[in-house]
Amino acid sequence: MQADRIRIGSRGSPLALAQAHEVARRLAAAHGIDGAAIEVRTFKTSGDRIQDRPLAEAGGKGLFTKEIEEALIAGEIELAVHSMKDMPTALPDGLVMAAMLPREDVRDAFISLRYGSIADLPPGAVVGSSSLRRQAQVRRLRPDLQVAEFRGNVDTRLRKLEQGVADATFLACAGLNRLGQSDRITAVMATEDMLPAVAQGAIGVEVRSADQDTARLVSALDHAETTVCVATERAFLARLEGSCRTPIAGLAELRDGTVHFRGMILSPDGSRSHETRRQGSPADAGAMGDDAGCELRARAGPDFFQWTG
């Protein structure tokens, strides 16, 4: 199948552009499309503009997708490329996820210029992170550490470490790998110690539901295993997402034809947590994630999701 023109919408960050160009390359290879017929257009999202306060206070998920989705709905682009961990669980009317690319490393990377691991940090050391999930899990693992708000791209965070703003930080291994900067990783966090964000490491391609031609083009890129695992995790998140101030983590893995899922919710200070595990058929992925979310919601009680401290 050929296409006269394909316009891809993306954020303008180096990582977002790397992901968008990966989609472009895969589309060109899958369909024999001339690369010149594929254009990547960049958009500055609300999440990119807000730098003066934590994103959770500004609205949480959706801040990195709204402007791109508006352009997609308006027909300014044919498809949008997103980091799935930034996606709200409910898509705008008229839009669908048409494909997931093969998932990258799901784990978190510990980065420090002075210490080899989180265990090596001395009491009182400062860990910088803008992620509520990472902040809560750091406090759960090491309540003796200080946690500070810490935003910026890879180079910005490394510069802040050099300036002594923090002693360590965390980034997704997936992003560092895609940027060719895996050498910046000091240590990789085991998922048993730091459970990833829902859909971490997954790239999704969004299209208009009425645009069947583009949907067919994009469907050739879909990685079935990633789609099943992300569906499990997002169903879990959808059942729990009552507050953007509640740290939520979840990971589904497909092993020998069975989906293995682990989900967790934490209080922001890391002092309280609830987790659950499931395993089942890929056909039951969404129902399994939803059931796991129902269990944790019931166990935690409504007050758990009203946390604002």
Please, are residues 199 and 103 in contact by the beta-carbon 8 Å criterion? Answer: no
* 86: annotated active-site residue: yes
Per DSSP, what are the bridge partners of residue 10?
42
* Pair of tokens at residue 6: 């394909």
* Pair of tokens at residue 270: 């890391």
The active-site residue out of 4, 34, 48, 86 is 86
Of the candidates 30, 28, 29, 8, the residue with the CA atom closest to the CA atom of residue 19: 8
* Pair of tokens at residue 211: 């645009």
Burial class, 107, CB count within 10 angstroms (exposed 0-12 / middle 13-18 / buried 19+): buried
Distance CA 249, CA 129 (A): 15
Distance CA 301, CA 237 (A): 16
β pairing state of 273-280 and 258-266: antiparallel
Residues 6+ apart with CB under 8 A from 181: 154
Please, are residues 47 and 131 in contact by the beta-carbon 8 Å criterion? Answer: no
β pairing state of 38-43 and 6-11: parallel
Residues forming the active site:
86
